[in-house]
Chain A
Amino acid sequence: NFMLTQPHSVSESPGKTVTISCTRSSGSIASNYVQWYQQRPGSSPTTVIYEDNQRPSGVPDRFSGSIDSSSNSASLTISGLKTEDEADYYCQSYDSSIVVFGGGTKLTVL
Chain B
Amino acid sequence: EVQLVESGGGLVQPGGSLRLSCAASGFTFSSYAMHWVRQAPGKGLEYVSAISSNGGSTYYANSVKGRFTISRDNSKNTLYLQMGSLRAEDMAVYYCARDQGVVPAAIDYWGQGTLVTVSS
- Listed in ascending order, the chain A residues whose CB lies under 8 Å from chain B are 32-33, 35, 37, 39, 44-47, 50-51, 56, 88, 90, 92, 94, 97-104
Contacts and interface: CB of A to CB of B under 8 A. Distances in A.
B105 interface: yes
B13 interface: no
Which 10 pairs of residues, A with B, have the shortest CB-CB distance? A104-B44, A97-B104, A99-B47, A44-B110, A101-B45, A94-B105, A35-B106, A45-B110, A103-B44, A97-B103
Contact of A99 (B104, B111, B112, B113): B104
Given A92-B107, A97-B52, 6 more contacts: A44-B95, A92-B106, A97-B57, A98-B47, A99-B35, A101-B45
Interface residues of B, number: 23
Residue among B35, B45, B59, B109 with the highest chain A CB neighbour number at 10 A: B45
A101 B110 CA distance: 15
Contacts of A104: 44-45
A100 B47 contact: yes
B44 to A, nearest CB: 4
Nearest to B97: A45
Contact of B59 (A39, A45, A56, A98): A98
Given A44-B95, A44-B113, A94 B104 contact: yes
Contacts of A98: 47, 59, 104
